[in-house]
């Protein structure tokens, strides 16, 4: 209990108690020792004085006894009164008779001579034989008390107690001083350390600078604090650097370096978070997938630096027009994704899509180049409990492809219908694999007529798919599917081979100058085997290459300008002709038009439609003819359906026409009939 209490005490109290205990036990020891020693000395002093007095008395009293002079003897004994400690004395002769005695006035002897009891204190009896010339005359008895000794020892004890008390007081004062010197700095250091530990403020320092052990302890603590401080500073610096590095890594991992927008990684993370969040939240959001139209052409035409800057500015325009709550990501080359969280209705999303299209379609000026692009947007809505992240992205993507194929620079919402059509397209994609093997593909030919003579001078080979259950399927439907699956290359080879074979047979039977135009798709054109397969087909069928033309759309040519020029030049070297299909609808630049080795441009049906009534169409067609004339191109007007259209085109130089007005695309048998009649069907 006491030990526990002691343990709980502060060091100052502990030290004081220890010091006082130490001092008091030492004092007690010294006190007892001194008192005992003093008592013994007093007694010894008394004994010495008694002895000397007794010797004096014994030396003088012998003659008094010898002369039986009692009065002298009594007088001699009375000299003992000088010593107040002597109570009584008497001389006993040899025969036992008391010769003389002395009695102190202070004595209170109550007992007989044989048995003495002192009222106050114990005493001592001293016996000394009285000799005279070697003869024993009697014995001198002296009884003394210790009253004086006791009295003196009492005074001594009192004085000593006073001294002890003073010493204790002094010890207490010194201890307090000592405590002040030792414990206060210790307490100060303890408080300093506690304070530092609590507040983690390692800038504080001990101000003790004594040269003793406490000074050394203070110095040690300060050194330790210096070390901690420098380590702390280092740690803070390291942490700062780590934050910077983490930020940088985060930037690299989650942000696109070109546009500074969050990247695909951030996009999937964000979508997943939203899906997880929305399971509880029961709210919905919209996902917009954007694909820039004609971006590739810009990249090819103006270079990657301009392309990157275009993406950057495009990202900036998107970011600026959206609210803070909505998120924009760059998820691929020219693909952006937008998550609309704040929008509530489909009507609002439509408005945003229209604004996006308008914002992206506005002219960009980059390094003095004026650039016009567009964007196709696919929209998918997420409803609580709806599809997964990949499902949502797939839906928006699907809608985006629809928007693209619906003529670009437009938006489409994902719908059941899209899903169904997509499903249908997937089915067709599988069926298409067998179409070639099962001879379900067939070529129809549409005559191309010379306006001046109205004679058939050539044909455009147009592919048909006679599906076993679906009937005839339009090339507009299955060509993009074949493009996507890659089957177009094989299919294209078949078209080239079949068309050349057919051409050779017609050239043999009718007119050797008859030519054939073969359509080519992007994947097929850019396939590394294309030039070889054409060469082989020409050689195999022994056709004059100058009677074979390949139709390429502007967008195919602009996809990879340099590569396109290289392939076209190889085809030209072979002797074949090249026609630009659907001219005016694509995104070609006049600058490049001159560089491409083109022979013919085919004016798209959409411009021919309005002839001759529509002023704009008329102006465009006139302009195309003027351009063709200056660049020495032949011109084929497509989709001529009426006499009026034909009449308009009749007067144009180098003009050829193609359209329902003369003939629809026809199977081989019907074309042969036409050739036999050497006139077109009306």
Residues that bind ligand C2E (CB under 6 A): 446, 461-463, 474-476, 479, 495, 519-521, 551, 581-582, 605, 638-641, 658-660, 665
Which residue's CB is nearer to ligand C2E, number 138 or number 659? 659
Q: Which part of the chain contacts Ca ion (CB under 5 A), choosing from 189-197, 234-242, 468-476, 543-551? A: 543-551
Cis peptide before 405 (omega within 30 of 0): no
According to DSSP, residue 113 is labeled S
Cβ-contact 73, 64 below 8 angstroms: yes
Q: Using alpha carbons, list the distances in angstroms from residue 259 to 39, 255, 307.
A: 109, 8, 11
Which residue's CB is nearer to Ca ion, number 185 or number 639? 639
Q: Measure the CA–CA gap between 564 and 575, rounded to whole angstroms.
A: 16
Q: Cβ of residue 669: shortest distance to ligand C2E, in angstroms?
A: 17
Cβ-contact 327, 274 below 8 angstroms: no
Which residue's CB is nearer to ligand C2E, number 299 or number 541? 541
Counts for the chain of helices (H) and strands (E), in that order: 22, 20
Tell me which of ligand C2E, Ca ion, none is bound by residue 665, counting a contact when its beta carbon lies within the kind-specific cut-off of 5 to 8 angstroms: ligand C2E
Which residue's CB is nearer to ligand C2E, number 560 or number 581? 581
Q: Measure the CA–CA gap between 585 and 608, rounded to whole angstroms.
A: 12
Tell me which of ligand C2E, Ca ion, none is bound by residue 483, counting a contact when its beta carbon lies within the kind-specific cut-off of 5 to 8 angstroms: none
**566 phi and psi, to 5 degrees?**
-60, -45
Q: Measure the CA–CA gap between 543 and 641, rounded to whole angstroms.
A: 31
Q: Measure the CA–CA gap between 649 and 605, rounded to whole angstroms.
A: 13
Q: Cβ of residue 300: shortest distance to ligand C2E, in angstroms?
A: 21
Tell me which of Ca ion, ligand C2E, none is bound by residue 659, counting a contact when its beta carbon lies within the kind-specific cut-off of 5 to 8 angstroms: ligand C2E
Q: Cβ of residue 416: shortest distance to ligand C2E, in angstroms?
A: 27
Q: Measure the CA–CA gap between 270 and 175, rounded to whole angstroms.
A: 73
Residue 498 contacts Ca ion per CB under 5 A? no
Question: What's the full length of the chain, in residues?
Answer: 682
Which residue's CB is nearer to ligand C2E, number 378 or number 665? 665
Tell me which of ligand C2E, Ca ion, none is bound by residue 389, counting a contact when its beta carbon lies within the kind-specific cut-off of 5 to 8 angstroms: none
Binding test (CB under 5 A) with Ca ion, winner from 87, 256, 551, 617: 551
Q: Which residues pair with 445 in a beta bridge?
A: 461, 666
Q: Cβ of residue 558: shortest distance to Ca ion, in angstroms?
A: 16
CA dihedral in degrees (169, 175, 176, 179; nearest 10)? -170
Q: Cβ of residue 662: shortest distance to ligand C2E, in angstroms?
A: 8
Element (H, E) at 375: strand 374-382
Q: Cβ of residue 602: shortest distance to Ca ion, in angstroms?
A: 5
Q: Edge to edge, what strands does the sheet with 135-145 contain?
A: 98-103, 86-93, 135-145, 123-132
Which residue's CB is nearer to Ca ion, number 395 or number 519? 519
Tokens of 630: 């200056």
Which residue's CB is nearer to ligand C2E, number 143 or number 551? 551
Which residue's CB is nearer to ligand C2E, number 205 or number 679? 679
Residue 582 contacts Ca ion per CB under 5 A? yes
**637 phi and psi, to 5 degrees?**
-95, 125
Give CA 476 to chain center in angstroms: 50
Q: Which part of the chain contacts Ca ion (CB under 5 A), choosing from 184-192, 302-310, 397-405, 574-582? A: 574-582
Q: Which residues pair with 581 in a beta bridge?
A: 553
What is Dmax (Cα atoms) for the chain?
Answer: 210
Which residue's CB is nearer to Ca ion, number 92 or number 582? 582
- Which residue, among 14, 29, 32, 27, has the nearest Cα to 168 in the 3D structure? 27
Q: Cβ of residue 501: shortest distance to ligand C2E, in angstroms?
A: 14
Binding-site residue total for Ca ion (CB under 5 A)? Answer: 5
Q: Measure the CA–CA gap between 635 and 643, rounded to whole angstroms.
A: 18
Residue 502 contacts Ca ion per CB under 5 A? no
Q: Cβ of residue 581: shortest distance to Ca ion, in angstroms?
A: 4
Q: Cβ of residue 640: shortest distance to ligand C2E, in angstroms?
A: 6
Q: Cβ of residue 622: shortest distance to ligand C2E, in angstroms?
A: 20
- Which residue, among 319, 376, 329, has the nearest Cα to 353 in the 3D structure? 376
Whole-angstrom Cα Rg for the chain: 66
Which residue's CB is nearer to ligand C2E, number 298 or number 495? 495
Which residue's CB is nearer to ligand C2E, number 75 or number 599? 599
Binding test (CB under 5 A) with Ca ion, winner from 519, 555, 658, 663: 519
- Residues in Cβ contact with 475 at an 8 Å cutoff, skipping those fewer than 6 apart: 462, 463, 464, 465
Q: Cβ of residue 521: shortest distance to ligand C2E, in angstroms?
A: 4
- Residue ranges that bind Ca ion, judged by CB under 5 A: 519, 551, 581-582, 638
């Amino acid at each position: 209990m006491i030990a526990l209490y002691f343990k709980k005490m502060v060091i100052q109290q502990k030290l004081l108690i220890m010091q006082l205990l130490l001092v008091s036990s030492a004092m007690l020891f010294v006190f007892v020792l001194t008192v005992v020693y003093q008592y013994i000395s007093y007694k010894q002093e008394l004994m010495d004085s008694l002895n000397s007095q007794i010797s004096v008395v014994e030396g003088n009293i012998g003659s008094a006894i010898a002369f039986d002079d009692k009065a002298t003897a009594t007088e001699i004994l009375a000299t003992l009164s000088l010593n107040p400690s002597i109570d009584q004395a008497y001389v006993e002769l040899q025969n036992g008779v008391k010769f003389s005695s002395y009695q102190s006035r202070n004595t209170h002897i109550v007992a007989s001579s044989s048995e003495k009891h002192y009222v106050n204190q114990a005493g001592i009896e001293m016996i000394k034989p009285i000799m005279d010339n070697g003869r024993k005359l009697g014995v001198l008895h002296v009884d003394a008390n210790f009253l004086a000794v006791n009295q003196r020892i009492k005074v001594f004890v009192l004085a000593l107690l006073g001294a002890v008390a003073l010493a204790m007081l002094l010890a207490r004062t010194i201890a307090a001083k000592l405590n002040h010197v030792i414990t206060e700095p210790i307490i100060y250091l303890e408080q300093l350390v506690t304070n530092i530990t609590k507040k983690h403020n390692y800038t504080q320092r001990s101000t003790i600078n004594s040269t003793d052990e406490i000074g050394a302890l203070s110095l040690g603590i300060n050194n330790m604090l210096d070390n901690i401080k420098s380590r702390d500073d280092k740690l803070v610096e390291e942490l700062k650097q780590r934050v910077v590095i983490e930020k940088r890594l985060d930037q690299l991992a989650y942000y696109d370096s070109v546009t500074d927008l969050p990247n695909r990684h951030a996009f999937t993370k964000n979508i997943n978070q939203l899906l997880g969040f929305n399971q509880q939240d029961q709210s919905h959001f919209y996902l917009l997938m954007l694909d820039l139209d004609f971006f590739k052409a810009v990249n090819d035409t103006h270079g990657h630096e301009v392309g990157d800057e275009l993406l950057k500015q495009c990202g900036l325009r998107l970011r600026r027009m959206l609210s803070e709550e909505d998120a924009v990501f760059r998820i691929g080359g020219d693909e952006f994704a937008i998550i609309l969280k704040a929008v509530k209705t489909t009507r609002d999303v439509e408005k945003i899509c229209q604004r996006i299209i308008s914002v992206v379609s506005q002219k960009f000026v980059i390094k003095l180049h004026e650039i016009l692009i567009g964007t196709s947007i696919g929209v998918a809505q997420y409803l609580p409990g709806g599809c997964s992240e990949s499902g949502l992205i797939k839906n928006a993507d699907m809608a985006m492809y629809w928007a693209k194929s619906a003529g670009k620079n437009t938006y489409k919402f994902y719908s059941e219908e899209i899903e169904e059509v997509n499903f249908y397209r997937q089915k067709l994609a599988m069926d298409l694999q067998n179409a070639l093997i099962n001879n379900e593909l067939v070529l129809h030919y549409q005559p191309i007529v010379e306006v001046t003579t109205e004679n058939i001078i050539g044909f455009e080979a147009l592919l048909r798919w006679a599906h076993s259950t679906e009937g005839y399927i339009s090339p507009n439907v299955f060509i993009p599917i074949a493009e996507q699956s890659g089957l177009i290359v094989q299919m294209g080879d078949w078209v080239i081979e079949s068309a050349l074979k057919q051409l050779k047979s017609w050239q043999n039977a009718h007119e050797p100058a008859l030519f054939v135009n073969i359509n080519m798709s992007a994947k097929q054109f850019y396939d590394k085997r294309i030039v070889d397969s054409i060469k082989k087909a020409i050689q195999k069928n022994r056709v004059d290459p100058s009677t074979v033309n390949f139709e390429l759309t502007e967008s195919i040519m602009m996809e990879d300008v340099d590569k396109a020029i290289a392939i076209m030049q190889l085809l030209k070297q072979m002797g074949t002709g090249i026609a630009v299909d659907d001219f005016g609808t694509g995104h070609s630049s006049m600058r490049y038009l001159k560089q491409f080795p083109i022979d013919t441009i085919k004016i798209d049906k959409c411009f021919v439609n309005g002839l001759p009534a529509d002023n704009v169409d008329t102006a465009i067609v006139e302009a195309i003819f003027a351009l063709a004339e200056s660049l020495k191109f032949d011109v084929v007007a497509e989709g001529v359906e009426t006499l009026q259209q034909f009449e308009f085109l009749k007067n144009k130089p180098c003009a050829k026409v193609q359209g329902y007005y003369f003939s629809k695309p026809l199977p081989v048998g019907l074309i042969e009939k036409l050739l036999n009649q050497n006139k077109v069907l009306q």
